[in-house]
Amino acid sequence: MKKKNRPCDPAATDRKLDDIQDLKGRYQFLYSLINEVADPIVVVGTDFRVKFANRAARAFSSQFIWQGDEEPFCHNLIYNSECQCSDLGRPCPLIEVVDTNKSVVVEHDLDLPDGGKCSYEIHASPLLDENGCFLGIVESLRDISERKAYAHILEDGHDELERMVENRTRDLLKSNEVLKKEIVNRHRVEKILRSERDKFQIMLEALGQGVHIVNKDYIIEYQNEVLRKLFGKREGEICYKVFKKRSEPCEVCRMHTAIDSGMVQQSEEQLRDGQTYLQSYAPFTDIDGEKKCLILLSDITEQKAYQAETMRTGQLASIGELAAGVAHEINNPINGIINFSQLLLDDSTNPADSDLLKRIIGEGERVANIVSNLLSFARQGDGGEGGIGEVDVRDVMNDSIALLSHQYKKDGILFSVSGPHLLASVWLDPRQLQQVFVNLLSNSCYALNKKYPDHHLDKRLNVEFAEVDVNNQPYVRISVMDHGCGIPEEILVSVLNPFFSTKEPGEGTGLGLSISDGIIKGFKGGLHIESELGRFTTVMIDLPRFDRVEGGGK
């Protein structure tokens, strides 16, 4: 015979319901927050069972069907397998955390239903209660298949790299879910609230990405530890003042668009640390009724560098093919002009005709030399004749100026080369150095033409060589200075980043200075830029001087 439940005191029931409703409201934000994260997050107990899984984790496996409130084993959820990872030769995050007593990162490969594979990076951190007792681990899974694919393609040098780069985006889920829990008394409610708050704090830190919450007035209300380490504790401050040192909202900000549309928005932005971030804006309504944005910052600097390297490889391949064809088409008629002129010169008895024929031969040889320089510049990195060796930087600069001298003359640009005749030998690939010089000279030409569309006495460019000491080592310094339009101070720190350009759309790729900086660093040198808006820009390149006795830069 079933035991009848005792009737409840109506007043006590009302108090209990009030406590539960209060708990729901206070938990709703935290649980909604972790559910909005695009990466799968799970809490695994010491019995290998999943105690908690956010929405992304529940949707992670297409084979495993989640049944209600069950607590499946972690290998059931991730691999749809009845065997533990350690039994199949895979590293088990729970075991490794127990063995090392610290956070660990492991990689797992998963077989897809279509026969393919994907790779995941699992971040596992120990989960402790308020007394320091070990409860299990917090795991976050991140798909690194694309990153590994990009690295593999770059290592192998495949020409198809530019088609392999894809924008790695994850839309944050926008629906909220209420987690219900009954609490006996208010003391128990407050104790559980403190415990759950600490757990979610650990989960947010385990993401490894910057997370902050901004209200409609652009005030930062929350930062996780990642952002605190980058920018300091800035809750209560204006986001665009903290991250960009601006007096007004950023043009790329999508916060109000996300709030007004109720849809997740994304944008790319470069912050004060010089890194490029993908910003994802997820709108939500806080427990105070205000509409706010959860903003997730993912560092994509490395991905942008891969894109830059890919584009550079494709551009150089195209230039090489074009230059080879142009050189062949030009060299044949030029050689004919030179040879026929030489035959006429040999038979000429008229001094005036002889002088004219010598000038024709000289101009023809100059054209042939320019074509040769262009072909040498376009073939850099092909492993052909030349390669790395002792180089006089003056010769490389003279060849670079020869390529652009016609353009300078056409635009009315006055240029000069100055500096003492010092020992200017370095150890490097002259074709790569020529690429750097041509890029800097072309940038100066653009800046001068932008400031002075017509001829002007100040339309000047100066190349200066000097010998300097860097860390008590002899270096050759090459300075390229123009009196063009200059660069604003607030973006000067960004000009060396891939895809950042001050030129008008369609006039530049934003790769020239980034590639040049990488080439110079490869030569164990340095590239530094000084500029004043409206007055000048100076690019200084320091290269270690080659010492024939000690072997210099070998």
Give the model's pLDDT for residue 176.
Answer: 45
Assess whether 474 and 543 both reside in one domain. yes
Give the model's pLDDT for residue 113.
Answer: 66
Stretch 431-438: mean pLDDT? 86
pLDDT tens digits for range 480-490: 999 999 988 87
DSSP letter, residue 86: G
Are the C-beta atoms of residues 515 and 506 closer than 8 Å to each other?
Answer: no
H/E segment holding residue 529: strand 526-532
Assess whether 477 and 497 both reside in one domain. yes
Report whether pLDDT(16) > 60: no
DSSP output for 316-337: HHHHHHHHHHHHHHHHHHHHHH
More confident residue, 547 or 422: 547
Give the model's pLDDT for residue 384.
Answer: 44
d(CA 369, CA 216): 63
The answer as to whether 134 is a domain residue is yes
Give the model's pLDDT for residue 198.
Answer: 63
Give the model's pLDDT for residue 12.
Answer: 45
Question: What's 364's domain CATH number?
Answer: 1.10.287
Q: Strands of 104-111's sheet, edge to edge?
A: 50-53, 41-45, 134-143, 117-128, 104-111
More confident residue, 499 or 80: 80
Stretch 53-72: mean pLDDT? 72
Cα–Cα distance list, 336 to 61, 333, 355, 364 (Å) = 71, 5, 19, 9
Assess whether 211 and 150 both reside in one domain. no
- What does residue 85 show for φ and ψ, rounded to 5 degrees? -60, -40
Residue with tokens 């895979």: 90
Least confident of 341-355, 368-382, 419-433: 368-382
The answer as to whether 19 is a domain residue is no
Give the model's pLDDT for residue 315.
Answer: 63
pLDDT tens digits for range 104-134: 988 877 776 677 777 888 898 998 877 888 8
- pLDDT interval class at 529 (50, 70, 90): very high
Q: Which long-range contacts (CB under 8 A, 24 or more apart) does 507-511 make?
A: 507/446, 509/311, 509/315, 511/308, 511/311, 511/312, 511/315
More confident residue, 506 or 289: 289
The answer as to whether 219 is a domain residue is yes
Stretch 433-455: mean pLDDT? 90
Assess whether 190 and 261 both reside in one domain. yes
Stretch 456-467: mean pLDDT? 91
Share of the chain above pLDDT 90, in %: 10
Assess whether 402 and 550 both reside in one domain. yes
The answer as to whether 497 is a domain residue is yes
512-522 vs 301-347: helix axis angle to the nearest 10? Answer: 90
Question: What residues pair up with 541 in beta bridges, in sequence order?
Answer: 478, 527
- pLDDT interval class at 479 (50, 70, 90): very high
Q: What is the mean pLDDT of the chain?
A: 76
Assess whether 372 and 418 both reside in one domain. no
Assess whether 128 and 240 both reside in one domain. no
Closest by CA to 191, choosing from 106, 105, 238, 129, is 129
Give the model's pLDDT for residue 531.
Answer: 92
The answer as to whether 50 is a domain residue is yes
pLDDT tens digits for range 274-325: 677 778 888 888 877 888 888 877 777 777 766 766 666 666 666 666 666 6
Assess whether 421 and 498 both reside in one domain. yes
Stretch 499-509: mean pLDDT? 64
Alpha helix (H) residue ranges in 272-428 = 301-347, 351-378, 393-411
Assess whether 61 and 143 both reside in one domain. yes
301-347 vs 145-156: helix axis angle to the nearest 10? Answer: 20
Report whether pLDDT(554) > 50: no
Closest by CA to 193, choosing from 407, 324, 404, 24, is 24
Domain range enclosing 268: 170-299
Give the model's pLDDT for residue 169.
Answer: 44
Least confident of 74-88, 193-207, 265-279, 337-351: 193-207
User: What is the CB-side half-sphere exposure of residue 114 using CA atoms within 13 A?
Assistant: 3
Report whether pLDDT(203) > 70: no
Assess whether 142 and 264 both reside in one domain. no
Instruction: Tell me the pTM.
Output: 0.40
Question: What's 150's domain CATH number?
Answer: 3.30.450.20
pLDDT tens digits for range 388-402: 888 888 888 988 888
Question: What's 520's domain CATH number?
Answer: 3.30.565.10
Q: Give the end of a domain, one of 142, 167, 192.
A: 167
Q: Give the end of a domain, one of 299, 328, 348.
A: 299
Chain center to CA of 299: 7
The answer as to whether 401 is a domain residue is yes
- pLDDT interval class at 432 (50, 70, 90): confident
- pLDDT interval class at 506 (50, 70, 90): low
Give the model's pLDDT for residue 422.
Answer: 62
Among the ranges 21-35, 295-309, 405-419, which has the highest mean pLDDT value? 405-419
The answer as to whether 4 is a domain residue is no
Count of domains in the chain? Answer: 4
Structure tokens at 524: 């164990």
Q: Give the end of a domain, one of 167, 183, 208.
A: 167
Assess whether 495 and 544 both reside in one domain. yes
